[in-house]
Amino acid sequence: MKIRYLLPMAALTLMAGAAIAGLYRPAPVVVDVDTMIASGDQWTARTADNDLDFIGCGTLVVDNGVNPVFYWGFCQAGDSDENSITCFTTNTNLLDTMKATSDFSFISFSWQDDGGGGAECTRVRYSTQSVYLPNFKVNKDRRRSDGDSDSD
């Protein structure tokens, strides 16, 4: 009788484990200098076995109190084939997208030659809906903001 109970439970456990394992889909950084498109996810870049992979976007606000506020943004990526790119923009739509990315985003961006030896960002896309579950290590002795410590 126990076997009839244990077999379905074991099957369900294996199916659940396979479903979670199937969510792990790393997206390595790729910089295609011919099509001028870079893509990859930030978690995979951070945990890569090499020091070359990186991808991200950021913004900068410059306000000197005299001139109008100046907004500036950039995206940058480097892959394991040693291709790298940094593009810049002041386009407000792209700046809004750059501000919305998070530490675990999948990012893709395009660029074009800006005519002065640099690159201008022309498109930025991101997704913060991870399709995988990173393996985080949790410090059980960490403190909560209310001063109580976690304990098991």
The model's pLDDT over 36-54, given as tens digits with 9 standing for 90+, comes to 999 998 888 888 888 899 9
Domain region containing 76: 26-127
End-to-end CA distance of the chain: 35
Domain tally, the chain: 1
In-domain check, residue 55: yes
In a domain, 141, yes or no: no
Report if residue 57 sits inside a domain.
yes
pLDDT (0 to 100) of residue 2: 60
Question: Is residue 132 situated within a structural domain?
Answer: no
pLDDT tens column, 56-78 = 999 988 888 887 788 899 999 99
Residues 6+ apart with CB under 8 A from 61: 69, 70, 71, 72
105 found inside a domain: yes
Q: Is residue 151 part of a domain?
A: no
- Quick one: pLDDT band at residue 151, thresholds 50, 70, 90? very low
Does residue 88 sit within a domain? yes
Residue 20 lies in a domain: no
Give the whole-angstrom CA distance, residue 95 versus residue 72: 7
- Which of 109, 91, 94 lies closest to 42, judged by CA? 109
